[in-house]
Amino acid sequence: MDLSYTAKQNAFRMEARSWLEENAPGEPLRSFDTPEGFEDHREWEKKLHAGGFAMVPWPKEYGGRGADLLEWLIFEEEYYRVGAPGRVNQNGIFLLGPTIMEYGTPEQKARFLPPMASSEEVWAQGWSEPNAGSDMANIQTTALIDGDDYVINGQKTWASRGAYAHWLFGMFRTDPDSSRHNGLTFVLVPLDTPGVTVRPIEKINGKKAFAEVFLDDARVPRANRLGEEGAGWSVAMATAGFERGLMLRSPARFQNTAHRLVELYRETRDQGVFIDAGLKDTVARCWMDAEAYALNTYQTVSRLLSGGKIGAEASLNKIFWSELDITMHEAALSLLGARGELLSGAPAAGNVGEWLDGFIFALAGPIYAGTNEIQRNIIAERILGLPRK
Amino acid sequence: MEFGFSEDQTLLGETVRDFLQAECTPEAVRSLWDTETGRSDEFWTRFSEVGVPGLLVPEAFGGLGLDERDLILVLEETGRVGLAEPIVSIAAGVPLLVSLGQEGQTALAEQWLPAVATGEARLALGHDGSPFVADAHVADLIFMPHGDDLHALTKDAVQLTAQPANDQSQRLFSVEWTPQEATLVATGATGRRLQQEALDRGAMACAAQLLGVAQSLIDLGVDYASQRKQFGVAVGTFQAVKHRLANAKVKVEYARSVVYRAAHSVALNTSGRSVDVSMAKVAAGEAATFATKESLQVHGAIGYTYEQDLHIWMKRAWSLDLAFGSGAWHRARVADAVVDGSLPAETFGYTPVAS
Ligand SMILES: Cc1cc2nc3c(=O)[nH]c(=O)nc-3n(C[C@H](O)[C@H](O)[C@H](O)COP(=O)(O)OP(=O)(O)OC[C@H]3O[C@@H](n4cnc5c(N)ncnc54)[C@H](O)[C@@H]3O)c2cc1C
């Protein structure tokens, strides 16, 4: 156990820091759940890509810099340090990208990874259907083979950033006689395919954060299949592991929020405003939990670097970060008192509106990426070994 | 950067686990409850043969010369079996003697360190956080604070009054003694620093034990819920039961890395050491006390009986949570450090922009 960084790691940190300090936008971009904001974010991604920082752990040929996972954590720390924009293509770069790296053919890697790294092509995730939420094995949308194509019929829903994305990845029933986990195949679908209709859905703050996707005799080449025919479930579980586990929510994000919460506490205290007596303790707990998450991640990464694998433990992470995110934002709103309910645009809101936005966002954490109840089932059965039936 | 254990460290942990699981069974724990001292000299001798009490003793004094990164998994194992011998002697007493040796008390270090390594001598430690001293009755040398001063007292210099506690494994004593020139071993800033270090080390050791205790509480809950049938099925198939144990598991796993990091901070005496230790004590204490409630609940009435072994670990959780600074005390120490800046509180990896 040696918790110090090597000279090479420190040099990489400094390189990332100076690039980000110079290039990251000083002001928050418009929300990526609006058409303008979506484009702002793609512009930023293009710049990040040109700087060589779009996806540091990827091989150079796909637009990365061949960094290891520790360097990726370092990059994330620097990214959140300067408050750089949220990643508009996170479903692509953090979830599908690693899945393609593991299951894709050389042609698929060459075709899909570079424009993903630059956000030339932004990806939406298409698992959920009206009758397949937690019960994802109940997917009913079919993709039937016809010559060199799949012909897809059915409906996906809740696809984040689906309103503006270019591509959708998901699981479809390629064997119409199959049921549950069998007969499902992982397919990549261009959203401009004839027969595809995207209908945005507004989330509780009215922003078009996700979309329903209707597929009506949509033809997609069979070459867009990722992994084996009928093996969609196991490919999808790899993607879900990336989502719940490491990639989607790196610790710096929460350390940054925890740090801002401490600052907010100090400012509020120094203004002599009323503060609930328990809040100092809550703030400190949030800070501790964000640190615990960072330490746990470093331990996991060290294990992965020495050949270990991430399995059901990803479910522990998902519960921990999603609950922590809510607790931190609730604490901030309590500190803000009456100002906490102001929208970002309100004249008296100043820069505190981000807490409300963050709170609304955090509330979805225990629902997406597999609800926390589902994660608890996984922990109980797969980690603790409690009986299923 | 490498956050993990070496093969040697893992092997040491496993060796001690095997040893303890054979030696320190629930029956053995219970039979010691009924003895006057609650401690077994014989066990301590065998424990010393495995090398544990001498782990941190420098090689020059007959120990293994290892540090807290080697010790932490061993301490966790002592918690897993609910061992209640003077662990503090190993984790805090030894380093204190080593420091005193470096501060000029060479005779003291030379006299006691080899005896601790062989298991002939045990150490106890009083501190400002508690009016009682654990295991003072079996200690050959007791350290007591007096303001900033630190005294080292042999058996004949103290009078002990037993204070029976809820946890039968815990043996607490009030210590009557009079500060004298002959017992004074450190003063002023040095005395204060050594007291602080000893407190941090004691707390770190409790945190590691609490990790093991918490895991055992979960394991007992899982075992029982997998066997006990109601409504024709194992109660462990009910989600309300599963989710309680899953929640406890989340807390243990997120305490784990915090405890291991505290060992690293203590071993290297980093500037964030005290806060890192407090975080570990809080996280592990909360994981273990939470697990007591969840495990008891999934056991139902049987878990509430004296006969069932569950309470061995429940009581360990409660007493260790209070030892070397209660959870509340450590939480306040972190809050003061993080919010008011009273102690250095360093973020791991991420560095905020200075405001
Ligand atoms: C902000 C946001 C973004 C999303 N983005 C995407 C996306 O990009 N792509 C995509 O495919 N999906 C996305 N989703 C959908 C998400 O994956 C689903 O909402 C989730 O899987 C739960 O499904 P459901 O909403 O149908 O709830 P249901 O499955 O109907 O669950 C309702 C309630 O019942 C509980 N429940 C269900 N089954 C069990 C069980 N076996 N045991 C215990 N409790 C159970 C659930 O935990 C929940 O509390 C997103 C959702 C949100 C909120």
pLDDT tens, per residue, chain A with 389 residues: 999 999 999 999 999 999 999 999 988 999 999 999 999 999 999 999 999 999 999 999 999 999 999 999 999 999 999 999 999 999 999 999 999 999 999 999 999 999 999 999 999 999 999 999 999 999 999 999 999 999 999 999 999 999 999 999 999 999 999 999 999 999 999 999 999 999 999 999 999 999 999 999 999 999 999 999 999 999 998 887 776 667 778 999 999 999 999 999 999 999 999 999 999 999 999 999 999 999 999 999 999 999 888 888 999 999 999 999 999 999 999 999 999 999 988 999 888 889 999 999 999 999 999 999 999 999 999 999 999 98
Yes or no, beta carbons of B234 and A387 under 8 Å apart: yes
**Which residues in chain A touch residue B257, judged by CB atoms under 8 angstroms apart?**
292, 295-296, 298-299
Give the number of the atom of ligand 1 that is nearest the alpha carbon of residue A377: 42
**Which residues in chain B touch residue A288, judged by CB atoms under 8 angstroms apart?**
258, 279, 282-283, 334, 338
pLDDT for A245 equals 66
Task: Please state which CATH number belongs to domain A123-230.
Answer: 2.40.110.10
B4 → closest Cβ in A296, A299, A387: A299
With respect to CATH, is domain B7-182 assigned 1.10.540.10? Answer: yes
**E strand segments, chain B:** 123-125, 133-134, 141-146, 149-154, 159-162, 172-176, 184-186, 229-230, 233-234
Helix axes B68-80, B7-23, angle to 10 degrees: 30
pTM (2 decimals)?
0.97
Q: Put the strands of the sheet holding B141-146 in their side by side order.
A: B123-125, B141-146, B149-154, B184-186
Joined together, the tokens standing for residue B137 give: 């009755």
**How do the domains of chain A map onto residue ranges?**
7-88, 123-230, 249-383
**Considering only residues 209 to 248 of chain B, which have any Cβ-Cβ distance to chain A shorter than 8 Å?**
218, 222, 225-226, 233-234, 236-237, 239, 241-243, 245-247
**CA atoms of A172 and A126, how far apart (whole Å):** 9
Cβ atoms B211, B284 nearer than 8 A: yes
Residue in chain A nearest B332 by alpha carbon: A281
Contacts 24+ apart (CB under 8 A), B175-178: B175/B126, B175/B133, B175/B136, B175/B142, B175/B144, B177/B144, B177/B151, B177/B153
The gap between the terminal CA atoms of chain A, to the nearest Å, is: 41
Q: Encode B257-273 in three state secondary structure.
A: HHHHHHHHHHHHCCCCH
Tell me which residue of B30, B31, B28, B41 sits closest to B137, measured CA to CA. Answer: B41
pLDDT for A309 equals 83
**CA atoms of B272 and B330, how far apart (whole Å):** 14
Q: Encode A43-66 in three state secondary structure.
A: HHHHHHHHCCCCCCCCCHHHCCCC
In this structure, the residues whose C-beta lies within 6 A of any atom of ligand 1 are: A 125-128, 133-134, 158-160, 210, 364, 367-368, 370-371, 373-374, 377; B 239
pLDDT for B355 equals 67
**CA atoms of B179 and A243, how far apart (whole Å):** 61
Joined together, the tokens standing for residue A301 give: 């990464």
Yes or no, beta carbons of A259 and B331 under 8 Å apart: no
Residues of chain B with pLDDT below 70 are 355
What is the least distance, in Å, from the CA of B205 to any CA of chain A? 18
**CATH fit for domain A249-383, picks 1.10.10.10, 1.20.140.10, 1.10.3720.10, 2.40.30.10:** 1.20.140.10
Task: Please state which CATH number belongs to domain B190-346.
Answer: 1.20.140.10
Express each pLDDT in B185-211 by its tens digit: 999 999 999 999 999 999 999 999 999
Give the number of the atom of ligand 1 that is nearest the alpha carbon of residue A126: 11
**Which residues in chain A touch residue B237, judged by CB atoms under 8 angstroms apart?**
386-389
Residue in chain A nearest B258 by alpha carbon: A292
Query: How many C-beta neighbours within 10 Å does residue B176 have?
Result: 10
CA of A376 to the centre of ligand 1 (A): 14
Using CB atoms within 10 A of its CB, is residue B222 exposed (0-12), middle (13-18) or buried (19+)? buried
With respect to CATH, is domain A7-88 assigned 1.10.540.10? Answer: yes
With a CB cutoff of 8 Å and minimum separation 6, the contacts of A346 are: A353
* CB contact A351 to B (< 8 Å): no
B350 → closest Cβ in A1, A77, A385: A77
* CB contact A71 to B (< 8 Å): no
pLDDT for A243 equals 66
If you take atom 37 of ligand 1, which residue's CA is the nearest one? A134
CA of A388 to the centre of ligand 1 (A): 21
The residues of A carrying an active-site annotation are 243
CA of B245 to the centre of ligand 1 (A): 22
* CB contact A265 to B (< 8 Å): yes
With a CB cutoff of 8 Å and minimum separation 6, the contacts of B16 are: B50, B52, B73, B74, B77, B78
**Considering only residues 31 to 60 of chain B, which have any Cβ-Cβ distance to chain A shorter than 8 Å?**
none
Residue type, A135: D
Q: Put the strands of the sheet holding B172-176 in their side by side order.
A: B133-134, B172-176, B159-162
Same fold, B7-182 and B190-346: no
Q: Three-state DSSP class for B284?
A: helix
**Which residues in chain A touch residue B279, judged by CB atoms under 8 angstroms apart?**
288, 291-292
**How do the domains of chain B map onto residue ranges?**
7-182, 190-346
